[in-house]
Amino acid sequence: MAGVKILVVDDEPSISEVVKLYLVREGFDATVVDDGRSALELLESDPPDLLILDVMLPGVDGYEITRQVRATSSIPIILLTARKDEIDRILGLELGADDYVVKPFSTRELVSRVKAVLRRTQQALAPPGGDSPITSGSIHIDPRTRQVTVAGNEIPLTVKDFDLLWMFTSNPNQVFNRDQLLDQVWGVSEFIDASTVTVHVRRLREKIELDPSNPRHIITVWGVGYRFEPGEHEVTSG
């Protein structure tokens, strides 16, 4: 993965410099900054291919940076944090992070996660399951441009949100459990757990459903998983 640019943002040099050393050894082009504002400036002037981001940063914290990045970009984000509570991990994922690593961590494991996230992202660059657009009610999906519109309004989606929606709409009324969705959308990875699916489904509902608390399209099948209900019009391709 030579030439892949990675930005490491952490205010602890003892962590960031070691992470940079390991990344460079693996052939990555790694840059380190130690505060949120510097990170935002660099993200705008020289966008990386992947962002490793500490949550607890001076100035602008990692959650806010994630929120701002996701407003305009789908670059992969791995959050680092000393917080171990599940609610913190869920918050990071809901904001659009691709992975979440709790300190202290193995640097080798972090590098493995970087490679796994990059592989998933690169696989997502090709249109999933063909290149014919799908229309389901007011939802229109074009895999060639990875654009989604709802009632004519373009909806920004992250790479995995798009892939998850494509999985659902390509298989209307089919019930998927969380393990199946993890395998098909994220690929086999020891680093991803079932809460990731729950978070992405919730976020997807907030973007495509008229009433996310009472979804008409992405339906929970209690004790099993989820299915996609096309709604008033059947799913059509082309």
Q: What is the mean pLDDT of residues 82-111?
A: 85
In this structure, the answer to whether residues 118 and 168 fall within a common structural domain is: no
pLDDT for the residue 234? 45
Which structural domain, as residue segments, surrounds residue 49? 5-124
Q: Is residue 229 part of a domain?
A: yes
In this structure, the answer to whether residues 155 and 117 fall within a common structural domain is: no
Rounded-to-integer distance, Cα 165 and Cα 19, Å = 34
In this structure, the answer to whether residues 68 and 22 fall within a common structural domain is: yes
In this structure, the answer to whether residues 13 and 96 fall within a common structural domain is: yes
Residue 18 maps to which CATH number?
3.40.50.2300
Between 196 and 65, name the one with better pLDDT: 65
Q: Single out the residue in 124, 146, 173 at which a domain terminates.
A: 124
pLDDT for the residue 178? 86
Report how far apart, in Å, the C-alpha atoms of 181 and of each of 39, 73, 177, 197 are: 33, 24, 6, 7
Rounded-to-integer distance, Cα 97 and Cα 93, Å = 5
In this structure, the answer to whether residues 88 and 181 fall within a common structural domain is: no
Q: Is residue 138 part of a domain?
A: yes
Q: Given strand 236-237, what is the order of strands in its sheet?
A: 153-154, 147-150, 139-142, 134-136, 236-237
Please, which contacts does 37-42 make with residues 24 or more away whose CB atoms are closer than 8 Å?
Answer: 38/9, 39/7, 39/9, 39/65, 40/65, 40/68, 42/7
In this structure, the answer to whether residues 158 and 84 fall within a common structural domain is: no
Residue 156 maps to which CATH number?
1.10.10.10
**In the chain, what is the straight-line distance between the N-terminal and C-terminal CA atoms, in Å?**
36
In this structure, the answer to whether residues 180 and 205 fall within a common structural domain is: yes
Partnered with residue 54 across adjacent β-strands are: 80
pLDDT for the residue 233? 47
Summarised one tens digit per residue, pLDDT across range 109-151 is 999 989 988 887 766 545 455 568 888 888 999 988 888 999 8
In this structure, the answer to whether residues 119 and 17 fall within a common structural domain is: yes
State the pTM of this model. 0.66
Instruction: Supply the DSSP symbol for 9.
Output: E
In this structure, the answer to whether residues 139 and 233 fall within a common structural domain is: yes
Summarised one tens digit per residue, pLDDT across range 220-234 is 999 899 999 986 544
Tally of structural domains, the chain: 2
Q: Single out the residue in 95, 124, 153 at which a domain terminates.
A: 124
pLDDT for the residue 228? 94
Residue 192's pLDDT band (cuts 50, 70, 90): low
